Amino acid sequence: MCREVEMPERKVAVVTGSATGVGAATVLGLARRGYDVVINYTKSEVEAAASAAACAEAGADTLVVRADVADDAACRSMVGAAVDRWGRI
């Protein structure tokens, strides 16, 4: 038996290191493709805010999270924040 599952219209992506460089370009590309995005940074708060603004301008709902991805608890907290916001990642 097969049943249809209704999927949410917008997907959610977590992109680590998305305040600068390749991460910022990746998260902006996803935003332009209709994703809502988690913008992760460790030290680049100003750049993370700029990345979030660019993604919001592209139509994405954004969540900026400072988290060291080498820290398991910080990663779990970041994922938890995304799930709290959108119900999924």
- What residues make up the domain containing 27? 12-86
Number of independent structural domains in the chain: 1
CATH number reported for the structural domain that contains residue 41 in this entry: 3.40.50.720
Taking only the tens place, the pLDDT of each residue in 14-66 is: 999 999 999 999 999 999 999 999 999 999 999 999 999 999 999 999 999 99
Return the number of other C-beta atoms located less than 10 Å from residue 16's C-beta: 19
Return the number of other C-beta atoms located less than 10 Å from residue 1's C-beta: 2
Q: What is the pTM of this model?
A: 0.86
Residue 16 lies in a domain: yes
Decide: residue 7, CB within 10 A, 0-12 exposed, 13-18 middle, 19+ buried. exposed
